[in-house]
Amino acid sequence: MLEDKSQKLTSVEQLGEFGLIKHITQNFGIKNSTTELGIGDDATIINPENKKVVISTDILAEGVHFNLGYVPLKHLGYKAVTVNLSDIAAMNATPTQILVSIAASNRFPVEAFEEIYDGIALACDKYKVDLVGGDTTSSQSGLLISITAIGIENSENLVKRSTAKPNDLLVVTGDLGGAYAGLQILEREHTVFLADPNMQPEMEGYDYILERQLKPEARTDIKAILEELAIKPTSMIDVSDGLASEILHLSDQSKCGFRLYEEKIPMDSLTISTAEELNLNPVMCALNGGEDYELLFTIAPEDFEKIKNHPDFTIIGHATDLDQGNMMVARGSGELITLRAQGWDAFLNR
Amino acid sequence: MLEDKSQKLTSVEQLGEFGLIKHITQNFGIKNSTTELGIGDDATIINPENKKVVISTDILAEGVHFNLGYVPLKHLGYKAVTVNLSDIAAMNATPTQILVSIAASNRFPVEAFEEIYDGIALACDKYKVDLVGGDTTSSQSGLLISITAIGIENSENLVKRSTAKPNDLLVVTGDLGGAYAGLQILEREHTVFLADPNMQPEMEGYDYILERQLKPEARTDIKAILEELAIKPTSMIDVSDGLASEILHLSDQSKCGFRLYEEKIPMDSLTISTAEELNLNPVMCALNGGEDYELLFTIAPEDFEKIKNHPDFTIIGHATDLDQGNMMVARGSGELITLRAQGWDAFLNR
């Protein structure tokens, strides 16, 4: 679990709750002018500077969202932040603050909290967000991280899920399925390790997809790129539960259907080769794998020329009337396949 | 655990995560004009209407903060909200929105979530706050509720912990120690029940302190009362970990000392008689018991006349220079006793 296995460990009891909070948060500075009061009072004070405030929260639970058998605590802290910032990016807003609550059983020493917060600090630095509050408590068993992310943005920039229109183009950033393929490699090697702890894990050559799984980034860069292109998405969502599930969310909220072209789904060659190595359908990794934290959005048809050859974006389909349903057009055959949300569900995939 | 033990139970798998969220949140309406977008998107959108936004978060963990052996789920949901609203009240702000995240093991059926959310809905109605987001997931074991509370307030009304000055008067609302005395009764009767499930619990006559423990209220009413009296506190905190611990927080943040008069600490007669029945020192229940969720604040000395005989407030001491320390003046003897934070600590009291 800990990176340096030889260090002397400190029990949380030795510091107490308030001592622990002080200890682990002392090096977090304030980077945003909107942070009027940070950690240490009953609540943080945010000055929205006449803008809107967007707020989102997500829990990561041990044994459900991560396995400490192969997820380093520092990566976990980093990822817990980025998956929350991804929700703010999906509103086309700029993340500015986070609150971090952690519940951990007494098997976690102070040094474990330090590693988690090292990862949180790294993400805060990279994304220029301030840690402004939270709570730390013990739990009966396991580790739980609950993060609330805050973004501040001009009203006219915000993009909801509910405002796509028929004929809008469906666009996705980056590539999909990699995080799921990476998870499969981690699970495989962990199983091998559990069977024989002397076996060396075979991780070489999988770097890109392992990074997609262990250290995903939030696409907070997309907002500026779209502004440069003079495009405002007509609707947007982040890809956390798989492309199929997210398309259905857009459909449900916008009251339109979608047509997705299988051959257009962007996938990295390593994702494809790994999926094939593991006897998985690569497209299913993209549709149902989840955890890619790319942005999925719609744009008005007249914006096609502005985006068509941009390396950050792929046009993968378009919106239709609701009664046309949500369909994937199969590669080659052109067969219409109904999209279903078989994505990752915290209550099913246990 | 469930109020109606005879009902047919539904597993969360039957609904799935998104189905569960839709099911339990469908009856929550929007009451505040500042709630521009509620549940159902990547994030909620808050319109602060040119005011400041205060945000706080707290976790309640099974086996640490509550025991489902004697805490009804509906009360738990209610309390999870009010303890968070108490933090907003402690900033002298008006709570407006909450986000609720719940992690629960698969021993919790849909009906358990319904009862928790019934309690949450009751608190939302009473305090006129909107449920605007959250997350629901499974956990390896136990139940965890993480709530983020949001308040919107004019900048000039906000009160921090860090702005008390020597000679300010120390004031507390309501009475103290009751929640802790109530907890002791619940623990005693639960122990009796575990030893012999046929024994009837002896709860009669303890109503007030049981309610203090099981269904605490947030003192969001205090803001208006103080405004009517034309008093703005010079510093404020809520009493969640015991009076001693909170005084030390004010001291630490405001860089002043405090003198607390034992004989002034407001306690209900039932709290005193129950503590004595249990061989506890009633004053220790107030100092270290916690969970009273009253407000502790300082006011300028010249506001004394405005508040001195008000039934909602008790002047219990005053601020001093920092080098005088934090002392309780003992009843009768006048002996000075150093205040220590022996309050409730989630990492110690397990």
**A312 near A225, Cβ under 8 Å?**
yes
Do both A26 and A134 map to the same domain? yes
Residue B172 CA to residue B244 CA, distance in Å, equals: 12
- Range B100-113 average pLDDT: 92
Please report which confidence band the pLDDT of residue B3 belongs to, taking 50, 70 and 90 as the band edges: low
Closest by Cβ to B45, choosing from A52, A103, A346: A52
- Residue A143 located in a structural domain: yes
Q: Is the ipTM of this complex over 0.90?
A: yes
Give chain B's length: 350
| Tens digits of residue pLDDT in B271-291 | 999 999 999 999 999 999 999
Would an 8 Å CB–CB cutoff place A19 in contact with chain B? Answer: no
Q: Of A215, A253, A188, which Cα lies nearest the Cα of A78?
A: A215
Residue A18 CA to residue A13 CA, distance in Å, equals: 11
Give chain B's radius of gyration (CA, Å): 21
Phi then psi for A348, rounded to 5 degrees?
Answer: -100, -45
Would an 8 Å CB–CB cutoff place A55 in contact with chain B? Answer: yes
Please report which confidence band the pLDDT of residue B119 belongs to, taking 50, 70 and 90 as the band edges: very high
Residue A26's pLDDT is what? 83
Residue A343's pLDDT is what? 52
User: Is the model's pLDDT at A268 over the cut of 60?
Assistant: yes
Q: What percent of chain B has pLDDT over 70?
A: 97
| Tens digits of residue pLDDT in B251-275 | 999 999 999 999 999 999 999 999 9
Residue A25's pLDDT is what? 86
Would an 8 Å CB–CB cutoff place A144 in contact with chain B? Answer: yes
Q: Which residues contact A233 (CB under 8 A, 6 or more apart)?
A: A92, A159, A171, A226, A297, A298, A299
Phi then psi for A83, rounded to 5 degrees?
Answer: -65, -30
- DSSP run (H or E) holding A125: helix A110-127
- Are residues A57 and B253, on separate chains, in Cβ contact within 8 Å? no
- Residue B71 located in a structural domain: yes
Q: Which residues contact A333 (CB under 8 A, 6 or more apart)?
A: none
| Tens digits of residue pLDDT in A185-235 | 999 999 988 888 888 888 889 999 999 999 999 999 999 999 999 999 999
Do both A279 and A206 map to the same domain? yes
Instruction: Find out whether A42 is annotated in a ligand binding site.
Output: yes
- Are residues A53 and B46, on separate chains, in Cβ contact within 8 Å? yes
Residue B77 CA to residue B83 CA, distance in Å, equals: 10
Q: In what order do the strands lie in the sheet with A326-329?
A: A235-238, A295-299, A169-173, A313-320, A257-261, A326-329, A336-338
| Tens digits of residue pLDDT in A63-88 | 989 999 889 999 999 999 999 999 99
Residue A161 CA to residue A153 CA, distance in Å, equals: 17
For position A279, which CATH number holds? 3.90.650.10
Residue A1's pLDDT is what? 63
Residue A5's pLDDT is what? 67
Residues of A with Cβ-Cβ distance to B43 under 8 angstroms = 54-56, 87-88, 90-91, 93, 149, 151
Do both A145 and A262 map to the same domain? no
Would an 8 Å CB–CB cutoff place B347 in contact with chain A? Answer: yes
Phi then psi for B127, rounded to 5 degrees?
Answer: -95, 5
| Interfacial B residues in 99-118 facing A (CB < 8 Å) | 99, 101, 103, 106
Do both B36 and B147 map to the same domain? yes
Do both A146 and A215 map to the same domain? no
Longest Cα–Cα distance in chain B: 66
Ranking A24-28, A134-138, B70-74, B216-220 by mean pLDDT, the lowest is A24-28
Question: How are beta strands B169-173 and B295-299 bridged, if at all?
Answer: antiparallel
Do both A213 and A139 map to the same domain? no
Residue B350's pLDDT is what? 33
Residue B102's pLDDT is what? 95
User: B311: which 2 tokens?
Assistant: 């039934």
Q: Of A142, A139, A120, A141, which Cα lies nearest the Cα of A131?
A: A120
Q: What is the sign of the dihedral through the CA atoms of B248, B253, B254 and B256?
A: positive
Residue A348's pLDDT is what? 45
- Are residues B161 and A99, on separate chains, in Cβ contact within 8 Å? no
User: Given its phi and psi angles, is residue A323 left (phi above 0), alpha (psi -120 to 50 degrees) or beta?
Assistant: alpha
**Tokens 């005053």 sit on residue:** B318
| Tens digits of residue pLDDT in B306-317 | 999 999 999 999
- Residue A163 located in a structural domain: no
Chain A nearest CA to B240, separation (Å): 10
How many structural domains compose chain A? 2
Residue A349's pLDDT is what? 40
Q: What is the 3-state secondary structure (H, E, C) of chain B?
A: CCCCCCCCCCCHHHHHHHHHHHHHHCCCCCCCCCEEECCCCCCEEECCCCCEEEEEEEEEEECCCECCCCCCHHHHHHHHHHHHHHHHHCCCCEEEEEEEEEEECCCCCHHHHHHHHHHHHHHHHHHCCEEEEEEEEECCCCEEEEEEEEEEECHHHCCCCCCCCCCCEEEEECCCCHHHHHHHHHHHHHHHHHHCCCCCCCCCCCHHHHHHHHCCCCCCCHHHHHHHCCCCCCEEEECCCCHHHHHHHHHHHHCCEEEEEHHHCCCCHHHHHHHHHCCCCHHHHHHHCCCCCCEEEEECHHHHHHHCCCCCEEEEEEEECHHHCEEEECCCCCCEEECCCCCCCCCCCC
Residue A3's pLDDT is what? 66
Q: Which one of B157, B188, B205 terminates a domain? A: B157
Please report which confidence band the pLDDT of residue A350 belongs to, taking 50, 70 and 90 as the band edges: very low
User: B59: which 2 tokens?
Assistant: 């976790």
Q: Which one of A156, A184, A206 terminates a domain? A: A156
Which one of B53, B65, B288 would you mutate to disrupt binding with A, by most A Cβ within 10 Å of its Cβ? B53
Instruction: Give the residue on B whose Cα is nearest the Cα of A90.
Output: B42
Query: At CA A59, angle to CA A289 and CA B91, rounded to 5?
Result: 150
| Tens digits of residue pLDDT in A135-178 | 988 888 899 999 999 999 999 999 999 999 999 999 999 999 99
Which of the two residues, A22 and A149, has the higher pLDDT score?
A149
Question: How are beta strands B143-153 and A235-238 bridged, if at all?
Answer: unpaired
Strands (E), A194-325: 235-238, 257-261, 295-299, 313-320
- Residue A22 located in a structural domain: yes
First-last CA distance in chain A: 21
Please report which confidence band the pLDDT of residue B349 belongs to, taking 50, 70 and 90 as the band edges: very low
Highest mean pLDDT among A77-91, A105-119, B329-343: A77-91
**Tokens 């990794």 sit on residue:** A285
Ranking A15-19, A250-254, B148-152, B300-304 by mean pLDDT, the lowest is A15-19
Q: Which one of A96, A121, A156 terminates a domain? A: A156
- Range B332-343 average pLDDT: 87
Closest by Cβ to B56, choosing from A42, A48, A150: A42
The mean pLDDT of chain B is 93
Residue B5's pLDDT is what? 67
Instruction: Find out whether A134 is annotated in a ligand binding site.
Output: yes
The mean pLDDT of chain A is 93
User: B82: which 2 tokens?
Assistant: 């009010």
- Residue B5 located in a structural domain: no
Residue B89 CA to residue B95 CA, distance in Å, equals: 7
Residue A170 CA to residue A317 CA, distance in Å, equals: 5
DSSP label at A137?
E
Name the amino acid, one letter, at B140: Q
How many CB pairs (< 8 A) connect A and B?
A: 238
Residues of B with Cβ-Cβ distance to A82 under 8 angstroms = none
Residue B62 CA to residue A153 CA, distance in Å, equals: 37
Q: In what order do the strands lie in the sheet with B130-138?
A: A35-37, A44-46, B52-61, B143-153, B94-104, B130-138
Do both A130 and A180 map to the same domain? no
| Tens digits of residue pLDDT in A41-62 | 999 999 999 999 999 999 999 9
For position A75, which CATH number holds? 3.30.1330.10
**Tokens 């220079």 sit on residue:** B321
- Residue B162 located in a structural domain: no
Do both B220 and B273 map to the same domain? yes
Chain B nearest CA to A277, separation (Å): 31
**A30 near A133, Cβ under 8 Å?**
no
Domain span holding position A90: 12-156
| Tens digits of residue pLDDT in B135-171 | 988 888 899 999 999 999 999 999 999 999 999 999 9
Q: In what order do the strands lie in the sheet with A130-138?
A: A130-138, A94-104, A143-153, A52-61, B44-46, B35-37
User: Is the model's pLDDT at A344 over the cut of 70?
Assistant: no
Residue B202's pLDDT is what? 82
**B184 near B274, Cβ under 8 Å?**
yes
Residue A321 CA to residue A302 CA, distance in Å, equals: 18
Residues of A with Cβ-Cβ distance to B233 under 8 angstroms = none
Do both A184 and A148 map to the same domain? no
- CA A181 centroid distance within chain: 15
Instruction: Give the residue on B whose Cα is nearest the Cα of A107.
Output: B347
Longest Cα–Cα distance in chain A: 66
| Tens digits of residue pLDDT in B76-97 | 999 999 999 999 999 999 999 9
Residues of A with Cβ-Cβ distance to B347 under 8 angstroms = 12-13, 16-17, 20, 106, 137-138
Q: How many CB atoms lie within 10 A of CB A98?
A: 25
Residue A214 CA to residue A205 CA, distance in Å, equals: 15
Do both A173 and A152 map to the same domain? no
- Are residues B346 and A136, on separate chains, in Cβ contact within 8 Å? yes
Do both B152 and B184 map to the same domain? no
- Residue B350 located in a structural domain: no
Residue A176's pLDDT is what? 98
Would an 8 Å CB–CB cutoff place B67 in contact with chain A? Answer: no
Residue B259's pLDDT is what? 98
- Residue B28 located in a structural domain: yes
Q: How far is CA A287 from CA A245, A275, B272, B282, in A?
A: 8, 13, 63, 61
User: Is the model's pLDDT at B347 over the cut of 70?
Assistant: no
Do both B178 and B253 map to the same domain? yes
Give chain A's radius of gyration (CA, Å): 21
Which of the two residues, A13 and B252, has the higher pLDDT score?
B252
Q: How far is CA B242 from CA A263, B172, B343, in A?
A: 63, 12, 5
Would an 8 Å CB–CB cutoff place A67 in contact with chain B? Answer: no
Would an 8 Å CB–CB cutoff place B69 in contact with chain A? Answer: no
